[in-house]
Structure 1
Amino acid sequence: MTTTSPLGPTLETPRLLLRPPVADDFDAFAAFCADAEVMRHIGGLTPRPMAWRAFRTIAGAWALDGFHMFSVLNKSTGEWMGRIGPLYPDGWPGREVGWGLNAKWWRGGYATEAAVACMDFVCDELGWEDIVHTIAPDNAGSQGVARKLGSVNRGPGKLPDPFASHATEVWGQTREEWQENRKRF
């Protein structure tokens, strides 16, 4: 289910709420960015001042583009779990649905549940025809989420600076493929 507020859309799944970030999310976001295990495959540790900039960039993208990462909230506890959603940075290999959750929430199906809602959003609301996921070659967890979504590994990709030195694989599928893959959920 999707509802819209002045901040942007809110997506609801059986266990999650996905909404644009609000200022009260920042402390949890900064802790997420300071967790080495969480950040190992998504750019590396980010000190609080840089996390502040990244957080504000996400909010700005919502204002300028009408999309970016959602804050993911646990419906039963209200806890901030991570960020998942659409992004398309300058120089990126495609329009992406990406994900990152706090380690506490790994292996519970939450990333897949949120990514399904985001795939629906980018196809149905944003009209994207092709969706990618840029994944580190040794990130088995994210590869598993991509496989569950029905995405396939399209091979090595190149990210723009400052991530150009990070090895990445581009996983993805078309809108039409998602419409077929969506039937499994």
Structure 2
Amino acid sequence: MTGPVIETARLLLRPPEIEDFPRWAEFHLDPETMRFLGGVQAPPQTWRALMAVIGQWAATGEAMFSVIEKDSGLWMGRIGPLHPYGWPGTEVGWSLHPDARGRGYAVEAAVASMDYAVDVLRWTDVIHCIAPENFASARVAGRLGSVNRGPGRLPEPMQDERVDLWGQTADEWRENRRRFEP
């Protein structure tokens, strides 16, 4: 699979590859990680999810990036632009492997993903679908400059999941982006 590769200070963001599956599967087996992502998933479900993301990249040129730590080469999570059919908007989402949390990777990769969504995909608005109890994700959204726009609704089969739609316009992102410049 070819696609964009984005480099940050500590990370590489690229479309997922088959080689990501072992750590992706670990991620999906962790109850805390999956608490706000539909619950723990067995490796066969995870395989299908990974294949769906790879397919979405191939079909649309957008989907979650695999986040790779440059120093170790390890898969650290999935962060990036997505807009599945029926979704409440164009989203930059994030979720990290348990051993990647608390290291600033979510914000670092989300900044690069927001840039990609606004500058390359030309999105005029970006949302983040966040469960009201997911305080860590809400902090990331706030750091990016997004605001809680209130409750949203996801498509089937996730229609009963409670989410708040955080977001900002492309123009707001261009202004908020300045706080991340050296």
Where on the TM-score scale, by shorter chain, does this alignment land: which range? over 0.9
Instruction: Identify which of 109, 112, 135 aligns with 1:114.
Output: 109
What is the DSSP-based 3-state SS (H/G/I as helix, E as strand, rest coil) of the residue aligned with 1:14?
coil
TM-score normalised over the length of structure 1 = 0.95
Identity %: 54
Partners of 2:171 and 2:39 in 1: CA distance: 34
Determine the structure 2 residue equivalent to 1:60.
55
Deviation at residue 44 of structure 1 after TM alignment: 1.2
Determine the structure 1 residue equivalent to 2:140.
145
- Are 1:50 and 2:39 counterparts? no
Q: C-alpha root-mean-square deviation of aligned residues, in Å?
A: 0.8
- Are 1:92 and 2:87 counterparts? yes
Task: Output the amino acid matched with 2:24.
Answer: F
Deviation at residue 77 of structure 1 after TM alignment: 0.6
Partners of 2:44 and 2:100 in 1: CA distance: 25
Aligned residues: 180
Partners of 2:6 and 2:32 in 1: CA distance: 27
Deviation at residue 106 of structure 1 after TM alignment: 1.4
Deviation at residue 164 of structure 1 after TM alignment: 1.0
Q: Displaced runs of 4+ in structure 1, greater than 4 A? A: none
Gaps of 5+ in 1: 1-5
Q: Deviations over 1:127-183 (max 9, x none)?
A: 000000000000000000000000000000001111111110000000000000000
Task: Output the amino acid matched with 1:81.
Answer: M
- Are 1:162 and 2:176 counterparts? no
Partners of 2:140 and 2:78 in 1: CA distance: 15
Determine the structure 1 residue equivalent to 2:118.
123
Determine the structure 2 residue equivalent to 1:3.
none
TM-score normalised over the length of structure 2 = 0.97
Instruction: Identify which of 136, 151, 154 aligns with 2:131.
Output: 136
Task: Output the amino acid matched with 2:176.
Answer: N
